Chains A and B, each alone.
Chain A
Amino acid sequence: MTPDPYASARETTEGTVYSVTGGDWDSVVTEIGATKEERVVVNMGPQHPSTHGVLRLILELEGETVTETRCGIGYLHTGIEKNCEYRTWTQGVTFVTRMDYLAPLFNEAAYCIGVEKLLGITNDVTERASVIRVLMMELNRISSHMVALGTGALELGALSPMIFAFRERELVLDIFEMVSGLRMNMAYIRPGGVAQDLPEHATSKIRETVKELRINFKDNAKILIGNTIWLKRTKDIGILDLAGCTTLGITGPVLRATGMPWDLRKTQPYCGYENYNFDVITADTSDVYGRFLIRMNELEQSLRIIEQACDKLDVLKGQPVMVADKKIAWPSQLALGGDGLGNSLNHIREIMGTSMESLIHHFKLVTEGFRVPAGQVYSTVESPRGELGVHLISDGGTRPYRVHFREPSFNNLQSTAAMCEGSQIADIVGAVASIDPVMGGVDR
Chain B
Amino acid sequence: MSHDKTLNKGAFGVSGTGDTSGYGGLVRSNAKPGSSERPFGSYFDEVADELERAFPEFNDAIEKVIVDRDELTLHVKAAHLFETATKLRDTETLRFEQCMGVSGAHYPEEKNRELHAIYHLLSMTHNRRIRIEVSIPDANPHLPSLVEVWAGCNWNERETFDMFGIIFDGHPALTRILMPDDWPGHPQRKDYPLGGIDVEYIGAVVPPPSDRREYQ
Question: Which residues of A are at the interface with B, using a C-beta cutoff of 8 A?
Answer: 73-74, 77, 79, 81-83, 85-87, 117-118, 120, 246-251, 260, 262, 267-268, 327, 364, 367-371, 373-378, 387, 389, 391, 393, 395-398, 401-402, 404, 406, 410-411, 413-414, 443-444
**Min distance, Cβ B10 to any Cβ of chain A, angstroms:** 9
In the bound assembly, the distance between CA atoms of A323 and B89 in angstroms comes to 40
Assuming the contacts A74-B179, A248-B152, A249-B150, asked whether A396 and B29 have C-beta atoms less than 8 A apart, the reply is yes
Of A77, A370, A395, which is within 8 A of B30 by CB?
A: A395
**Do the beta carbons of B100 and A249 come within 8 Å of each other?**
yes
Chain B count of residues within 8 A CB distance of the other chain: 55
Type the 1/0 row for B146-172, where 1 means its CB is closer than 8 Å to any CB of A.
000011111110010001000000000
Q: List 4 A-B pairs, minimum CB-CB distance, nearest first.
A: A249-B152, A404-B103, A327-B11, A86-B209
A-B contacts, 21 listed (Cβ < 8 Å): A73-B178, A74-B176, A74-B180, A81-B163, A82-B188, A249-B98, A249-B152, A251-B98, A371-B13, A375-B68, A391-B103, A391-B120, A393-B105, A395-B28, A395-B30, A395-B32, A401-B30, A406-B120, A411-B152, A413-B155, A444-B178
Type the 1/0 row for B67-110, where 1 means its CB is closer than 8 Å to any CB of A.
01111010000000000000000000000011111011100000
**Do the beta carbons of B33 and A374 come within 8 Å of each other?**
yes
Assuming the contacts A398-B215, A401-B105, asked whether A247 and B151 have C-beta atoms less than 8 A apart, the reply is yes
Least CB separation from A119: chain B residue: B69
Contacts of B120 in A (CB 8 A): 378, 389, 391, 406
Contacts of A85 in B (CB 8 A): 194
Query: Which secondary structure characterizes the binding site on chain B?
Result: loop
**Do the beta carbons of B100 and A406 come within 8 Å of each other?**
yes
Q: Which of A73, A248, A444 has the most CB atoms of chain B within a 10 A radius of its CB?
A: A248
In the bound assembly, the distance between CA atoms of A397 and B30 in angstroms comes to 8
Type the 1/0 row for B37-74, where 1 means its CB is closer than 8 Å to any CB of A.
00000000000000000000000000000001111010
Of B29, B99, B124, B180, which is within 8 A of A260 by CB?
A: B124
**Do the beta carbons of A267 and B28 come within 8 Å of each other?**
no
**Min distance, Cβ B213 to any Cβ of chain A, angstroms:** 10
**Do the beta carbons of B155 and A374 come within 8 Å of each other?**
no
Contacts of A81 in B (CB 8 A): 163, 188
**Do the beta carbons of B105 and A402 come within 8 Å of each other?**
yes
Is B17 in contact with chain A by the CB < 8 A criterion? Answer: no
Of B30, B68, B97, B127, which is within 8 A of A396 by CB?
A: B30
**Min distance, Cβ B127 to any Cβ of chain A, angstroms:** 6
**Do the beta carbons of A248 and B151 come within 8 Å of each other?**
yes
Is B206 in contact with chain A by the CB < 8 A criterion? Answer: no
Contacts of A402 in B (CB 8 A): 103, 105, 188
In the bound assembly, the distance between CA atoms of A120 and B209 in angstroms comes to 28
**Min distance, Cβ B15 to any Cβ of chain A, angstroms:** 11
In the bound assembly, the distance between CA atoms of A40 and B73 in angstroms comes to 48
Least CB separation from A78: chain B residue: B178
Least CB separation from B153: chain A residue: A249
Least CB separation from A404: chain B residue: B103
**Do the beta carbons of B7 and A373 come within 8 Å of each other?**
yes
**Do the beta carbons of B155 and A411 come within 8 Å of each other?**
yes
Q: Which of A81, A247, A444 has the most CB atoms of chain B within a 10 A radius of its CB?
A: A247
Contacts of A73 in B (CB 8 A): 177-178
Contacts of A250 in B (CB 8 A): 152
**Do the beta carbons of B101 and A406 come within 8 Å of each other?**
yes
**Min distance, Cβ B79 to any Cβ of chain A, angstroms:** 23
**Do the beta carbons of A378 and B71 come within 8 Å of each other?**
yes
In the bound assembly, the distance between CA atoms of A367 and B8 in angstroms comes to 20
Assuming the contacts A74-B180, A83-B194, A120-B69, asked whether A369 and B101 have C-beta atoms less than 8 A apart, the reply is no
In the bound assembly, the distance between CA atoms of A402 and B131 in angstroms comes to 16
Least CB separation from A76: chain B residue: B178
In the bound assembly, the distance between CA atoms of A443 and B7 in angstroms comes to 35
Of A77, A262, A373, which is within 8 A of B8 by CB?
A: A373
Is B187 in contact with chain A by the CB < 8 A criterion? Answer: yes
In the bound assembly, the distance between CA atoms of A74 and B182 in angstroms comes to 13
Assuming the contacts A86-B209, A375-B68, asked whether A74 and B177 have C-beta atoms less than 8 A apart, the reply is yes
